[in-house]
A and B are shown apart, each in its own frame.
Chain A
């Protein structure tokens, strides 16, 4: 009951590198059963860049599931980008879930962009000025939605797809002072409450690939500058079965 999950994030597509990524996706169906893209699809977050992303990832021989990243919000056109991607047959998670079926195997994917706040013991709290409360509340509300979405999934495997990180492990190499802007422990807490096979994120370009949540869920930072390859492939399932 194995399934192969390809993942990458932070492709930051724009006119200047149009087509460059697409050619690296040739033959993906021989290596993976699904492709997850962990946000920062664009650079400026414009609808034009959204169309470049759609061209780059459309009509692949495997299903494509994405979330948005902070860059994809920069031009206040995130809804239009989501529409463009969906019209191209690309799934976009916004704090909800989807089920990918591959043969007999059902893979549940939960996710959204995630958000900031920091990590246990060194994080912001919902206290004080309204701006600070809104900042932390945004992450908490996202985490609550992911918790519910995971609870509602009855699949062979479960993966969480995010832009922001749930743990510090994969931020190693980033300045510690900016950790609170790279992720939040609330994302990990929600996933640990329900369990998952894998948590995939991007955003931390100077980080490292591998980490784990306090509850034991494997975390992988798939930001392109970290991977330095077109995508990583993670096999979920029993060791005894071939991927």
Chain B
């Protein structure tokens, strides 16, 4: 149960008639609640017929999933995936407190 998308999300089908404000909110919620993403920190902006995604994820597959979930929830928009993958570098200088 916990891995299924909540029913209240599935029940509401967004359309291109909805105000961009609500479409962006719906996509952001889907990114947080869809088991394929569970990404809470992705910023969603709609400008004209484009949907911009910004933020960071831990792997390339997760970056692709974010775009896929967004596209499913607003298929009439062109998704611009500006999400980046966190690069884990070597530990740096220590800090003395």
Q: Using a CB-CB cutoff of 8 Å, which residues 154-184 of chain A contact chain B?
A: none
Q: A176 to B1, alpha carbons, bound, how many Å?
A: 33
A173 smallest CB distance to B (angstroms): 11
Total A-B residue contacts, Cβ distance less than 8 Å:
77
Q: What does DSSP make chain B's interface, helix, strand, loop or mixed? A: loop
Q: Which of B55, B56, B59, B95 contacts A232 (CB 8 A)?
A: B95
User: A135 contacts the other chain (Cβ, under 8 Å)?
Assistant: no
CB neighbours (8 Å) of A233 from chain B are 91, 94-95
Q: Which of A16, A43, A228 contacts B87 (CB 8 A)?
A: A228
Q: A143 to B38, alpha carbons, bound, how many Å?
A: 28
Q: Using a CB-CB cutoff of 8 Å, which residues 1-57 of chain B contact chain A?
A: 2-3, 35, 38, 41, 55-56
B57 smallest CB distance to A (angstroms): 8
Size of chain A's interface in residues, with CB distance under 8 A?
36
- List 20 contacting pairs A-B, 8 Å CB cutoff, sorted by A: A6-B91, A16-B62, A20-B59, A43-B38, A43-B58, A76-B2, A205-B55, A206-B55, A218-B97, A224-B86, A224-B88, A228-B86, A228-B89, A229-B88, A230-B90, A231-B91, A232-B91, A232-B92, A235-B94, A243-B96
A residues neighboring B (CB under 8 Å): 4, 6, 11-12, 14, 16-17, 20-21, 24, 28, 31, 43-44, 71, 74-76, 197-198, 205-206, 218, 224-225, 228-236, 239, 243
